Amino acid sequence: MDLAKVEALAAAEAKWFRDGRPRSMEATSRAVETMPRGVPVSWMDELYDHPPLWVSHGTGSRFWDLDGHEYVDMYIADMSAFCGHAAAPVVRAVCERVAAGSQFLLPSQDALIVAEALAQRYGMAKWQFTLSATQANTEVVRIARVRTGRQKVVVFDGKYHGHLEPTLGIVEDGRVLPEYTGLPAEITAHLRIVPFNDLDAVERALAPGDVALLLTEPAMTNAGFLLPGPGFHDGLRELTRRHGTLLAIDETHTLVTAHSGLTTEWGLEPDLLTVGKSIAGGVPLGAYGMTDEVAEVLRPPAGGAAVSGIAYDEVATGGTLFANALSMAAARAALTEVLTPEAFINTARLGHQLAAGLRAGIDRAGLPWSVNVHGSHAFYFFSPEPPRDARGARDADDPGLRALIRLFLANRGVWESGWWLGPTVSVAHTSQDVAAYLDAIGEFTQAVA
């Protein structure tokens, strides 16, 4: 890659973004009055080295910003818009449900249908609902602790399972440290972090016999897209069983890559499984499935009704809006009408088109980059071979280059964002959308070759 060309391009693209096509400047300047760092959620500011796009609306595979710029959405809101923007069955279900009341703190019939649909799809017997995948993982950790009578949790380096304290650590020189400020130092006492694809390290982490839960994605999606090596999942299951540790698979992201998740596609046998993001077509919902055996811990408490301030014999789960009628109606529509087997056949086909096009563009430009793909999600690494673990992914990463690609694509009406790049198609994408993306990224690879 020609670094002089990259630098010149970066300056030109930033100028184009800021001056040539001003984006939401009024919103951007007003936001600083009411929002720290000028964005509704402060981390959004870290993500971009330019003012945020303020979105107006979206439909299918596209969205528009406040100034009317149109984007082909290849980020799909970190997989949470996998149903496509404003998917018609979800819109219909949500409108009907809102008009009929959306929150009762009582179960609606849709909750039954959704639990049955999830059980059938992901092969876990019993289901519970939350409002996000973070909360689903939070409850899964608690259930595992109750079930095993142990405290410790093992996760993989480069993981992200949401902002739940038990997993918010990083590993540096073999020591686990809090990942952010605002976390008590003690959280690290209960957390072990090991490299993905390293069964020896997993064995060492489990060997003391004090680990309640090993929480993993089937393929890691938050440090690039890291695929498990042959035998890795078999080894994980064997080791967790041998050491009395429960195994939870987080399919929040990977559920977009296969109709019944990678758990079913790869024949995995977790004790718990979490989902979220796209399963209610953009309406907040998280859920977790359990085996019958694990679900036993949610038995009715012996000690009668809870009163705040008194110790209570029940696992710490729940929330007022969990399983609200709106989330349930949206999930019913999403699962039964949008996330169909046919839809996944199409997204896998487009995923292949994506990966083949990316590889062709990279080859044409002679760049030493590589591509991983599964189903609807592809990822390009700035290294000749896809890494096996997060350390390899970090070594191969180049945040400056990523920022430039994001800007370059945005200037050409393509949105690919996130901490890690890597395009994902939604159920609403077409072959033409993928071709538009490949044209833009192909132009980039040629420009820096």
In terms of CB distance, is 58 or 276 closer to ligand PMP? 276
Kindly tell me which residue out of 13, 65, 73, 78 binds ligand PMP, with binding defined by CB under 6 A. 78
* Residue (131 or 440) nearer to ligand PMP, CB: 131
Token pair for 204: 């060492």
- Segment interacting with ligand PMP (CB under 6 A) among 24-32, 216-224, 308-316, 394-402: 216-224
Per CB under 6 A, the list member of 13, 217, 271, 397 interacting with ligand PMP is 217
Nearest approach in angstroms of CB 150 to ligand PMP is 22
Residues 101-160 that bind ligand PMP (CB under 6 A): 132-134, 160
Q: Which of 145, 150, 190, 277 binds ligand PMP (CB under 6 A)?
A: 277
Sheet containing 246-250, strands listed edge to edge, beginning at the edge strand earlier in sequence: 126-130, 286-290, 272-275, 246-250, 211-216, 152-156, 191-194
CA distance 117 to 247: 22
Is 276 a residue that touches ligand PMP (CB under 6 A)? yes
DSSP state, residue 153: E
SS3 50: coil
Find the shortest distance in angstroms from Cβ 219 to ligand PMP.
10
Say how many residues touch ligand PMP, by CB under 6 A: 15
Whether residue 126 contacts residue 295, with contact meaning beta carbons closer than 8 Å, is answered with: yes
| Residues in 419-448 at the binding interface with ligand PMP, rule: CB under 6 A | none
Among 444, 435, 437, CA closest to 369: 444
Nearer of residues 188 and 221 to ligand PMP, judged by Cβ: 221
Please pick, from the candidates 73, 179, 198, 250, the single residue that binds ligand PMP as defined by CB under 6 A.
250
**Is there a contact between 251 and 217 (Cβ–Cβ < 8 Å)?**
yes
User: Among candidates 28, 49, 22, which has minimal Cα distance to 40?
Assistant: 28
Please name every residue paired with 130 in a beta bridge, in sequence order, or none if there are none. 286
Return the number of the residue (24 or 222) whose C-beta is nearest ligand PMP: 222
CB of 222 to ligand PMP, least distance (A): 5
Q: Which of 123, 158, 162, 442 binds ligand PMP (CB under 6 A)?
A: 162
Q: Which range, of 196-204, 214-222, 257-265, 433-441, touches ligand PMP by CB under 6 A?
A: 214-222
Interaction between residue 374 and ligand PMP (CB under 6 A): no
CB of 417 to ligand PMP, least distance (A): 13
Where are the strands (E) in 137-260, listed by range? 152-156, 169-172, 175-178, 191-194, 211-216, 246-250
Shortest distance, position 60 Cβ to ligand PMP, whole Å: 22
Distance of CA 380 to the CA centre of its chain: 17
Asked if 388 interacts with ligand PMP (CB under 6 A), we say no
CB of 88 to ligand PMP, least distance (A): 23
In this chain, which of 102, 148, 240, 252 binds ligand PMP, going by CB under 6 A?
252
> Cβ of residue 444: shortest distance to ligand PMP, in angstroms?
25
* CB of 78 vs ligand PMP, minimal distance in Å: 5
Q: Return the bridge partners of 85, or none.
A: 60
Query: Can you tell me the distance from the alpha carbon of 120 to that of 331, in angstroms, rounded to the nearest whole number?
Result: 14
Instruction: Return the SS3 of 306.
Output: coil
| Listed ranges 56-64, 246-254, 330-338, 366-374: which one lies at the site for ligand PMP (CB under 6 A) | 246-254
The yes or no reply on residue 253 touching ligand PMP (CB under 6 A) is yes
- Distance of closest approach, residue 84 Cβ to ligand PMP, in angstroms: 18
Both tokens of 356, joined, read 């083949």
Please identify which residue in 102, 197, 222, 327 interacts with ligand PMP, judged by CB under 6 A: 222
As given in the structure block, the two tokens for residue 35 are 């929002």
User: Tokens 């993905």 correspond to what residue?
Assistant: 196
Pick the closest to residue 145 from 194, 195, 203, 190 (CA basis): 190
Q: Which residues contact 228 (CB under 8 A, 6 or more apart)?
A: 196, 197, 218, 219
CB 160 within 8 A of CB 132: no
Of 141 and 448, nearer to ligand PMP (C-beta) is 141
With H, G, I as helix, E, B as strand and everything else as coil, classify residue 278.
helix
Residue 357 makes CB contacts below 8 A (sequence gap 6+) with 434, 435, 437, 438, 442
Q: How far is the CB of 135 from ligand PMP (least distance, A)?
A: 7
Give the footprint of ligand PMP on this chain (CB under 6 A).
78, 132-134, 160-162, 217, 221-222, 250, 252-253, 276-277
